[in-house]
Copies of this chain bind each other. A is one copy, B any other.
Amino acid sequence: MNSAPVSEHRLHRRVQFHETDAAGMVHFSWFYRYMEEAEHALWRAAGLSVTEVAADVFFPRVSASCDFRNPLRFEDEFEIAIRITGLTEKTIRYACAMTRGETPIASGTLVAACVSVRPGQPLKAVPIPQAIRDRFAVAPV
Q: List the interface of chain A (C-beta within 8 A of B).
A: 16-18, 20-25, 27-30, 32-33, 36-37, 40, 44, 49-51, 58, 60-68, 70-71, 73-75, 122-123
Contacts and interface: CB of A to CB of B under 8 A. Distances in A.
Contacts of A44: 75
Contacts of A71: 60, 123
B66 A65 contact: yes
Given A16-B40, A65-B65, A60 B23 contact: yes
A75 B66 CA distance: 25
Contacts of A70: 122-123
- Tallying the copies of this chain within the complex gives 4
Contacts of A58: 23
Contacts of A30: 29
Contacts of A62: 67-68
A102 to B, nearest CB: 14
Nearest to A67: B63
A32 to B, nearest CB: 4
Contact of A63 (B18, B20, B66): B66
A12 to B, nearest CB: 13
